[in-house]
Amino acid sequence: MSLALCGLISPCVTYGQADLGFLESSPGDYIGGGATYFSTNRLDIAVTTSDESLLTLNFLGWVINLAAPLWETLKVGVYPNAIRYPFNGEQSGLSIWGNGRGCNTVCGEFEIHELDRGPDGTVEHLWVTFTQHCECFMAPLKGDIRISSRTAPAGPEPRTLRVPRDYPTIQSAIDAAGVYGDTVVVLPGIYRETVFFRGKRVLVTSEQGPEVTRIQPPTGAVAVVINSGETRESELRGFTLENGAGGIEIGGSEPTVTGNVIINNGYGINCGFASPLIRSNRIANSTIRNGPFQGAGIYIGGAAAAVVEANLIEGNAHGLILWSAGTPTIRNNIIRQNAGDGIGMVNSSVPDIVQNVIARNAGFGIQWGGGGPNRIAFNTIVENGPNGGAGIFAFPMNRVTIENNLIVGRVPFLCGGQPDGTGVFRFNNAYSPEGSHYEGGCANLVGFESNISEPPKFLDAASGDYRLQRGSSSIDAAHDGSPWEFDIVGNPRAADGDGNLEARPDLGALEYVPGPPRAVTRFQVNLTPTIVNLQWEPFDDADEYVVGRSTTRGGPYEILASVATPNFADRSWVADIIYYYVVAGRNQFGTGTYSTEAVVRPGNRPPKAQDDFVTVDEDNEVTIAPLLNDSDPNGDTLSIHLVSLPLDGTVSDNGNEFRFIPAPNFFGTTSFTYSVDDGRGGTSLGTVVVVVRPVNDPPEAVPYWFTAQANQSETWTVKGLDVDSVVLNYSLKVPPQHGIAWIDPATGEFSYRPAWGFIGQDQVSYAVSDQDSVGSSVPITIQVQGWQDVDGDGMGDGWENLWDLNNPLADPDGDGISNRDEYLANTSPRDANSKLRVLTIEFAEDGRCFLSWASVGGTRYRILSADSANTAPLDFREVLRPALEEMDPGTAGQPSVQTFIDTRPPPTSGIRFYRVQVVQ
């Protein structure tokens, strides 16, 4: 991010930003790690001062110390040649540290552009800019801090970063964006990466929508990770996220996720202690039930307040799973056809579930065990639990308010245990076509608290249209204290639907709107030698049906009849003329929309379908073209349509071919039926038989996400999946970047130790093998959490308690090293001999240099070297080695000795100098 700054960095501009926190860390800077931090929120910036020679600024976890030379007062002006505070003495002092990182030495400068103090010495107006080089050779860390400034120029303007025009990947654009206000626009394409927001409050959006902009993460990875304290301004919009171990991982943040298609992943969205806004997404086909988060469309775990709104959640192993989820809001969603529950919750999950359509889920529509929701209101809960489930399973039915719902199914309402009287169940229509409206510990509540049990009279439940028809007893049956202005599709609530001149809301998620009948569905034609028989699905909103006919596609239509029944026989046709028939319903509000046309040629002879037999290997797909052996005696162009689904796979058609995908790991024989259509009223049925040949499946490693504490080892167990073998072998493929790790090959016991002082995210890759094959590598992500630092002195409270100290500047062992530097180096502050120092430097016979130094177990050390012809080298370069080689593997905190053999040729002239520094 570029920034126009006055004085030290660039000329001023003419308009101002009064409050600003801005840090720009260049690549190679240790303190900021190459990131940019930006905020104009005054609450993110604080200043304290103990006297007029020192300012201490706090910004997003960073501490900036600015000190005047000894015996001087800070005032407006330039302070060049600053060195590390508090060791600056007669020079200016500067130190930027925090979030577990600090420097041993500092070179830099700062300029105070504005500094006004109140009568009590409190800073009232401030504007300062600064530049720091950690260790005096690293890349710069620049900043600009303003508090109620009256003279400062503008802050950085929001930018638009385009992918791939300006940046090759989405991640590189996010990394280049500022912390707040920028927009990343992604052009159409397939992006094979995992996207990390990394705390930035930016909009990441596709330019042309999810249909043409897809994120496909590496094998075993999640498509998008938002877990660094992001806010509502951190928004992901308009992508398809597919084929990942998960769609989106959200942890400890409050981002916005809107307008995406999240499909064919292990799980859809996982929220851990997070309060995102998840709006207007389609989340489908999350199917790994035994994987992380159980294949849920949305998994919410950990007390927070997520908002899940206006999403389509379908075809997943589960719709939503809530596990100790706090107080989420679930409203205006369609949750349908999931293999488990629509919404399932356990422990302290107290959601508001309002105005959703929850339909045809194989488990319960809504169920809970322990605790329970706050309110369930205005939901349409239909046809859930066909194999022993129920619309709502309440365990227990205590403290929850259930009102104004329409609950239809085999068992609408099931209670586990006896209610204690604290729950409210009122103004609901709980109806079962089989007659058992209430089961379990709940009594039959029909007739109490305005509860009814009546057929709902949906417009077309078979096709998923759960709007109410005229005359439904659920119309105007809710109590009129509803706070909802509109229903789930935007119709105004509290219309007068029953004509009694009293406007009250309807039960369920969809308000009845008086008007002409809907369009006719399932309009069919059957030919005999003398009659064209027309049939369609009846519906109560129509008083009669109007039948029309034309010899031209699209009309105009000749009205043949108005009939009261859903059928009509046309005898007035002429052979070999193509007719286009339509039908529309009519009621007191008018004539509805015409149906789609049924095309007929009287005298037509039907086509002939021949059965097909194909083979395919397990976990592979096959394309089938039945029309290659189907025929039509009239020579008409044929099309195919799926009639019945296979039991062990999925199939789709494009009108000419079928695409069959067997169920995962299935082998054997399955079949499906189809209809061949000549477009003239003639059809014929055929069968496709598929033989799926078995193959050995490689085992699958499961990606994991663990949380570890800084400066200590952790152990977990990972598990692989193999449908063909129970004996598995585990191996690490890619080591961590910021620690050491190992895994037990037989049990999958995985251990990790972060380098001393490391805080942040680390990752390893592992794989699982059986006797025949090795599966793909997948990541184990470890989020290392820092020690708490309540007093903000740059030393973890755990370390301070261990050594019984808390003054970062004190030196109790008198070795010339402050407590804070001992903390950063992991040395003992009470042992003068415990300090980072080179012990030996020797030359082997082959001329290589052998270096040893005093180390501490669990600490990571990096060698730096510089070749120079004089004794004042400045250009030290890092000698990069894997973390396993740089880290002392000894017992954490115990003194040790580390060595390094320089395998490079000696310098051609001059001297080679070495440094050893602690890194994370």
What residues does CATH 2.60.40.10 cover in the chain?
524-600, 612-693, 700-785
Inter-residue contact 82 to 72 (CB < 8 Å): no
The continuous run of DSSP H or E covering 180 comes out as strand 180-186
- 11, with CB counted inside 10 A (0-12, 13-18, 19+), is exposed
For 586, other C-beta atoms within 10 Å of its C-beta total 17
CB atoms within 10 A of CB 820: 20
Q: Which are the contacts of 861, defined by CB distance < 8 A and separation ≥ 6? A: 836, 853, 855, 886, 887, 888, 898, 916, 917, 918, 919
Give the residue among 296, 313, 299 at the shortest CA–CA distance from 349.
299
Query: How far apart, in whole angstroms, are the C-alpha atoms of residue 537 and residue 289?
Result: 38
Beta bridge partners of 841: 851
Residue 14 has what pLDDT?
Answer: 31
Distance from C-alpha of 875 to C-alpha of 504, rounded to nearest angstrom: 79
On whether the CB atoms of residues 751 and 713 are closer than 8 A, the answer is yes
The Cα–Cα gap between 288 and 299 comes to 13
The residues, ordered by sequence, that sit 6+ positions from 499 with a Cβ below 8 Å of its Cβ are none
pLDDT along the chain (920 residues), means of 10: 26 55 84 78 88 92 94 95 91 91 90 94 94 90 93 80 93 86 94 91 96 92 91 95 95 95 96 96 86 84 94 96 94 95 91 96 90 90 82 85 94 78 87 85 84 92 89 89 81 81 90 87 82 88 94 95 95 88 93 91 85 94 94 90 90 91 89 91 92 87 84 90 82 92 95 89 90 86 79 80 87 90 89 89 81 92 84 74 90 90 84 86
pLDDT of residue 785: 80
Distance, in Å, from the CA atom of 211 to the CA atom of 239, rounded to the nearest integer, reads 8
Cα distances (angstroms) measured from residue 766 to each of 159, 258, 507, 782, 855: 39, 33, 52, 13, 30
- Residues 112 and 92 sit within 8 Å (Cβ to Cβ): no
Relative to beta strand 140-147, strand 106-117 is unpaired
Separation between Cα atoms, residue 306 and residue 478, nearest integer Å: 27
Q: Are 236 and 214 in contact (CB under 8 A)?
A: no
Beta 312-314 vs 282-284: how paired, if at all? parallel
Topology of domain 836-919, CATH: Immunoglobulin-like (2.60.40)
User: What's the CA gap between 44 and 61, in Å, rounded?
Assistant: 9
Question: What is the enclosing helix (H) or strand (E) of 261?
Answer: strand 261-263
Nearest-angstrom CA–CA distance, 261 and 92: 55
Q: State the Cα–Cα distance between residues 238 and 253, nearest whole angstrom.
A: 20
Task: Give CA–CA dist 587/339, Å, rounded.
Answer: 39
Distance CA 237, CA 220 (A): 23
Q: Is 261:269 a contact under the CB 8 Å cutoff?
A: no
CATH superfamily of 700-785: Immunoglobulins (2.60.40.10)
How much is the pTM? 0.60
> Per CATH, the architecture of 524-600 is what?
Sandwich (2.60)
Phi and psi dihedrals of 885, rounded to 5? -85, -30
- What gap in Å lies between CA 360 and CA 464, rounded to an integer? 9
Supply the Cα-derived Rg of the chain in whole angstroms.
35
- Residue 226: the pLDDT is 95
Cα–Cα distance list, 801 to 791, 887, 916 (Å): 13, 25, 28
* DSSP state for residue 232 in the 8-state scheme: T
Burial level of 501, CB count in 10 A (0-12/13-18/19+)? exposed
Nearest to 57 by CA among 23, 87, 10: 23
Q: What is the pLDDT of residue 2?
A: 25
Predicted confidence at residue 5, as pLDDT, reads 26
pLDDT of residue 482: 60
Q: Write the class of the CATH domain 612-693.
A: mainly beta
What backbone phi and psi angles, to 5 degrees, belong to 562? -115, 120
Residue with tokens 């039930």: 289
**Residue 674, token pair as written in the block:** 């189809």
To which H or E segment does residue 173 belong? helix 170-176
